[in-house]
Amino acid sequence: MDELAKIAESLRSRFAEGRYKTDATFYLAVSLLQRKQLGPAFDLLKPLTSAKADPDVAVKPWFPRVFVLLAEINYQQKKYPDVVATIAEFRAWDAKSRLLYQGDEVLGRALKQQTKFDEARVVFKQVTDDPNGTRTETAAKAQLMIAETYFIQKDFKTALENYLKVYILYKFPEWQAAALFQVGLCDEQLGEWGKAVTDYESLLTEFPKSEFVEKAKPRLEVARQNAKK
């Protein structure tokens, strides 16, 4: 991370007005984000958005990420209306961007945090349906968030169905384990204690290194006891 910052700073110094100026600025911002320096990173990224009218900059492979990173910074700072505005600007600039699905995933989270669950689900669905995002980790997260909105609304049957999609359709253990744990919670709420036992046992077997293992162990014992009744 420090090495990236050094390289970016060197490029900015050597090519202060050259064609690599924007590249150096972007990568310096990325290095700051990696070090959790959100404010300084934002201050570097925000002016870059004006370069969307510059064909020499807008075609750079990293340029669409400017909008995604700005949205993520705003999300982390709980500036949810700014997330909405940033992704709207991104979409207006290039509605067919190959990285728009990543921006939509951040937008969906912002809407979810504002309890705008119906809107959030529409946006998360755009992520999972986007050809550029198909079966990606970002899509897995979006599918998990769809399930989360239903869980929060206590629609446990629909939540369970959507958590299962994460577990079955995506091959990212971090999110599969999280989904499987939530499947167990849904089965508990639905009184399906036998199924909850299977859920938690599967979690322990398939994802033994998951952070959810320790949470699942006591719930498995309770589920086993209730399944015998």
User: What would the DSSP string read from start to end of the chain?
Assistant: -HHHHHHHHHHHHHTTTSTTHHHHHHHHHHHHHHTT-HHHHHHHHGGGGGGGG-HHHHTSTTHHHHHHHHHHHHHHTT-HHHHHHHHHHHHHH-TT-TTHHHHHHHHHHHHHHTT-HHHHHHHHHHHHH-TTTTTSHHHHHHHHHHHHHHHHTT-HHHHHHHHHHHHHH---HHHHHHHHHHHHHHHHHTT-HHHHHHHHHHHHHH-TTSTTHHHHHHHHHHHHHHHT-
Domain annotation covers residue 38:
yes
pLDDT tens digits for range 45-70: 999 999 999 999 999 999 999 999 99
Sign of CA dihedral 215, 217, 221, 227: positive
Domain annotation covers residue 42:
yes
Domain annotation covers residue 45:
yes
| pLDDT, position 12 | 52
Burial class (CB in 10 A: 0-12, 13-18, 19+), 99: buried
Q: How many domains does the chain have?
A: 1
| pLDDT, position 10 | 58
Residue 25: which domain range? 1-60
Of the chain, the end-to-end C-alpha distance in Å amounts to 55
Domain annotation covers residue 69:
no
| pLDDT, position 24 | 87
CA atoms within 13 A on the CB side of 77: 18
Domain annotation covers residue 108:
no
pLDDT tens digits for range 186-210: 999 999 999 999 999 999 999 999 9
Task: Tell me the two tokens of residue 51.
Answer: 């370069």
| pLDDT, position 96 | 96
| pLDDT, position 18 | 52
| pLDDT, position 1 | 47
Task: Tell me the two tokens of residue 23.
Answer: 């590249």
| pLDDT, position 229 | 83
| pLDDT, position 44 | 96
Any idea what the Cα angle at residue 127 is, between residues 112 and 138, rounded to 5°? 85
Domain annotation covers residue 199:
no
Residues in the chain, pLDDT under 70 = 1-19
Domain annotation covers residue 15:
yes
Domain annotation covers residue 37:
yes
| pLDDT, position 6 | 57
| pLDDT, position 20 | 76
CA 63 to chain centroid: 19
What region does 94 belong to: left with phi over 0, alpha with psi -120 to 50, or beta?
beta
